[in-house]
Amino acid sequence: MSILLTKNTRFIIQGITGREAINLTRENLDYGAKIVGGVTPGRAGRDVYGVPVYDCVRDAVAANGGKIEGSIVSVPPKFTLDAIFEALENGIELIVVVTENVPRRQVAQAVELAELRGARIIGPNCLGVISPGKTRVGGVGGAANSTQRAFKPGRIGVMSRSGGMTVEIANSLSEAGMGVSTAVSIGGDAVIGSTYAELMPLFDADPDTDGIAIYSEPGGRAGWRPSSPSGSSRTTRGCRSSPSWPVASWTR
């Protein structure tokens, strides 16, 4: 088991014909991820590494039985809010935003709608999510062969604002023989979709996670304190965020 992803998670890439998105498509396919479509308005009928391109998310969802679990958003900042809204309006529940420098107010609007729809946003300015040996959504780990070396299946969860430190921590855990259950690059922008405290209950509920390693950097919405003076804390979604297993955290 893992959090956020399963080996059967299907996702699309919004902005798939952009340079960064083309690289993401290749790297994710090489890792075995199930990319079932891409979206770029006006480019319907084309393909990227065999992945069909559609004009809109609605068409991509309709072509895949009416349900897609996730989306990578890789579009310019001024189009990011519309892309997220389009994904949410079409029932996508996991949205990984790799675009950076999205206006803070727009991110806040997107997060509010996602919560109303029961969806989750990772990022902006993130590398995504990986469950080693199962799948990944995003660019975390880079090329597939590098990802396979750094991320070994195991029982330690990883969360980090820094994409590079996500890989570094995972590599250290793998070298120590522990491995990773799920790693989440939560995003480096000041306002992001999911904080440490909001993701903590998911790891705590995962029977295949025995501990978690966190790397943080000061500032922004991502800040998280392990516990309040009473020994527990609450996330903005009302969940207890103090875990029942060990936590190791580093702050630059």
Domain extents for the chain? 10-122, 128-251
128 close to 139: Cβ distance less than 8 angstroms: yes
CA-to-CA separations, 190 to 103, 130, 230, in angstroms, rounded: 10, 22, 28
CB atoms near residue 43 (< 10 Å): 15
Tens digits of residue pLDDT in 55-100:
999 999 999 999 999 999 999 999 999 999 999 999 999 999 999 9
Average pLDDT over residues 106-132: 98
Say yes or no: do domains 10-122 and 128-251 share a fold.
yes
Give the span between the Cα atoms of 188 and 181, in whole angstroms: 22
Q: Which of 35-49, 214-228, 235-249 has the lowest mean pLDDT?
A: 235-249
Strand pairing partners for 131?
135
10-122 is classed CATH 3.40.50.720: yes
Is pLDDT of 232 > 80?
Answer: no
120-122 and 47-48 strand pairing: unpaired
216 close to 223: Cβ distance less than 8 angstroms: yes
**What is the distance of C-alpha 126 from the center of its chain?**
7
Determine the pLDDT at residue 248: 72
Tens digits of residue pLDDT in 120-175:
999 999 999 999 999 999 999 999 999 999 999 999 999 999 999 999 999 999 99
Determine the pLDDT at residue 226: 43
CA-to-CA separations, 176 to 138, 147, 180, in angstroms, rounded: 25, 16, 11
pTM: 0.90
Which is the CATH superfamily of the domain at 128-251? Succinyl-CoA synthetase domains (3.40.50.261)
Average pLDDT over residues 43-52: 98
